[in-house]
Amino acid sequence: MKKRKLTYKNQYRLLIAIIAIISIVSYRMAISKTFAMYHLKNDLVERSSEIQDAPQRIAELKTRIGEFESLISGNPNDTTETRNKIMNHASRFCNDNNLVLSGFLPPVDVDRGSFILETNILEIEGGFSKILKLIYNLEKEWKPGKVVSVSFFTKEDLRTKTLKLYAHVYIQKVKTRA
């Protein structure tokens, strides 16, 4: 019998097929695992950098907890005590600065599960800069809660036919659940 010799073209095709099979097998056995380990290493490096920042993040969270506790300070469950303190302080400030405390709307309580968010609303009449001083005083100096919003509006006084500036000041305080 004669041996069959492969032509150069068939030898080339056989070589390409063997190289393709070896490439697929080597990729599945070695290279894919190497890529997986490379991605795992990158993930672990990212996590380690987060862990290195952990003490700083813990300190930030502790300061935020302190801020929340300062909002709750005093007797947080006594709504009338909080309202009286806010009204007394605001009325004293208004008397000293030629403002009018024209309204003190009833508080709005929103149940947030583990705590209750109490919103007190003051209605102030007067000049813009003096109202801003009151807001600054409530927000930065006295801190009866957090000043979350201020709404300015004008009303016409029908008797004098003049426009008067009013502001609604929204003060929120966190109350613990009883």
pLDDT for the residue numbered 74: 47
Model confidence, pTM: 0.55
The answer on 84 and 118 residing in a single domain is yes
pLDDT for the residue numbered 76: 47
The answer on 172 and 124 residing in a single domain is yes
3-class secondary structure, 67: helix
Report how many domains make up the chain.
2
Structural domain includes residue 26: yes
Identity at 51, one-letter amino acid code: I
Pinpoint the alpha helices (H) of the chain: 8-26, 32-52, 54-72, 79-96, 128-136
The answer on 170 and 88 residing in a single domain is yes
Sheet containing 100-111: order of strands: 100-111, 115-125, 162-176, 146-157
Mean pLDDT of the chain: 83
> Which residue range forms the structural domain that includes residue 148?
75-176
**Residue 19 pLDDT > 90:** yes
Range 140-158 average pLDDT: 86
- Lowest-confidence region among 53-57, 89-93, 129-133: 53-57
pLDDT for the residue numbered 167: 93
Residue with tokens 């029908």: 158
Is residue 49 exposed (0-12), middle (13-18) or buried (19+ Cβ within 10 Å)?
A: exposed
